[in-house]
């Protein structure tokens, strides 16, 4: 079974997710001990989308994240470049688009908000993807990124990093359709920037008012930003 390398070659990443699509939602819930549902609820609250708004859920996979946002009454579209993942969520009643995060098939200023959950870490150019997200959102529009991060309590961080590297791929052997992908997951989590470093990247990509909220002690962080409206004093 395939796994991507840490250079995050887009073809390898797409193939790897095609390989985990079957049973992805269940595996995710097992691996996160059910916390994934809470993290999604928090993402929806922070995004604060309203009826009539247009929301792009990027790297949406099986659209499990998109239906959470759609519960707010906004029009939400799921975009992902793994056809396997999109097909895995075919039963979910939201529009789906096959799209590469670095070359989005949308005009400038098309959306009121853009969000990406557990996807940004897999893009091979984080800053370029954040710039592309900024392009398709209207001035004044919002960004919310939900991503694994660095636990803030040092002793827990130590144990967590061990758990990640050793236990995660072992558990995946029993519950995933592509256990090798979970070795990649553990490695990509370890090498991912912490909260502050990611906030700096988000700001460099053109977003302003960048801030973050730690969830579950920093195991996950929500980063938010706003596209400059150009008429600030
Ligand atoms: C871990 S899944 C997250 C799915 C969903 N957002 C969730 O919260 O469960 C990561 C997704 O990112 C997608 N992805 C990775 N790189 C991408 C890219 N360059 N363009 C579009 N999708 C990408 C993968 O295909 C995969 O479906």
Higher pLDDT, 186 or 77: 77
For ligand 1, residues with CB inside 6 Å are 10, 13-14, 17, 28, 59-61, 64-65, 80-82, 85, 100-102, 117-119, 122-123
* Angle at alpha carbon of residue 144, lines to 77 and 58, rounded to 5°: 35
* Angle at alpha carbon of residue 55, lines to 84 and 133, rounded to 5°: 80
Taking residues 207-229, report their average pLDDT: 97
The set of residues, in sequence order, having a beta carbon less than 8 Å from that of 187 and lying 6+ positions away, is 6, 165
Q: How far is the CA of 122 from the centre of ligand 1 (A)?
A: 7
pLDDT classification of 197: cutoffs 50, 70, 90: very high
The pLDDT, as a whole number, for residue 228 is: 97
The pLDDT, as a whole number, for residue 60 is: 98
Integer Cα distance of 186 and 207 in angstroms: 28
The pLDDT, as a whole number, for residue 195 is: 97
pLDDT classification of 233: cutoffs 50, 70, 90: very low
pLDDT classification of 231: cutoffs 50, 70, 90: low
Q: Is 209 annotated as a binding residue?
A: no
pLDDT classification of 133: cutoffs 50, 70, 90: very high
The pLDDT, as a whole number, for residue 118 is: 95
The rounded percent of the chain whose pLDDT value lies above 70 is 97
| Tokens (6 digits) for 219 | 């195991």
pLDDT (tens digit per residue) in 154-186:
998 988 887 776 787 787 777 776 777 778 888
Give the CATH number of domain 10-226; options: 3.20.20.80, 1.25.40.10, 3.90.550.10, 3.40.50.150.
3.40.50.150
Q: Is 80 annotated as a binding residue?
A: yes
* DSSP 8-state assignment for residue 103: B
Q: Which of 174, 175, 193, 192 is nearest to 184 (CA)?
A: 192
Where do the DSSP E strands lie in 12-153? 54-58, 75-80, 96-98, 111-117, 137-148
The pLDDT, as a whole number, for residue 27 is: 84
- Kindly report the backbone phi and psi dihedral angles of residue 57, in degrees, each rounded to the nearest multiple of 5, phi listed first: -100, 105
Do 149 and 221 form a contact (C-beta atoms < 8 A)? yes
Average pLDDT, the chain: 92
| Of the candidate ranges 2-6, 12-16, 21-25, 189-193, the one whose mean pLDDT is the lowest | 2-6
Q: Is 199 annotated as a binding residue?
A: no
pLDDT (tens digit per residue) in 99-114:
999 999 999 999 999 9
Instruction: Tell whether the model's pLDDT for residue 31 goes beyond 60.
Output: yes
Do 188 and 165 form a contact (C-beta atoms < 8 A)? no
Integer Cα distance of 70 and 66 in angstroms: 6
């Amino acid at each position: 079974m395939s796994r991507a390398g840490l250079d995050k070659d887009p073809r390898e990443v797409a193939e790897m997710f095609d390989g985990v699509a079957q049973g992805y939602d269940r595996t995710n819930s097992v691996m996160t001990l059910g916390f994934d549902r809470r993290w999604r609820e928090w993402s929806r609250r922070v995004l604060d989308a309203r009826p009539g708004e247009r929301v792009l859920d990027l790297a949406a996979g099986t659209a499990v994240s998109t239906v959470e946002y759609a519960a707010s009454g906004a029009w939400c579209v799921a975009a992902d470049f793994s056809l396997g993942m999109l097909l895995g969520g075919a039963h979910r009643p939201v529009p789906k688009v096959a799209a590469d995060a670095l070359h989005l098939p949308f005009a400038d200023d098309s959306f009121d908000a853009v969000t990406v959950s557990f996807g940004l870490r897999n893009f091979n150019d984080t800053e370029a993807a954040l710039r592309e997200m900024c392009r398709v959102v209207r001035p004044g529009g919002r960004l919310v990124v939900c991503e694994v991060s660095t636990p803030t309590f040092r002793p827990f961080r130590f144990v967590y990093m061990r758990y990640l590297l050793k236990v995660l791929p072992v558990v995946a052997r029993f519950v995933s359709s592509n256990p090798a992908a979970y070795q990649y997951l553990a490695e990509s989590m370890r090498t991912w920037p912490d909260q502050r470093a990611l906030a700096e990247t988000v700001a460099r990509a053109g977003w302003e008012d960048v801030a973050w909220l730690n969830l579950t002690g920093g195991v996950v962080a929500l980063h938010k930003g706003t596209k400059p409206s150009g008429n600030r004093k």
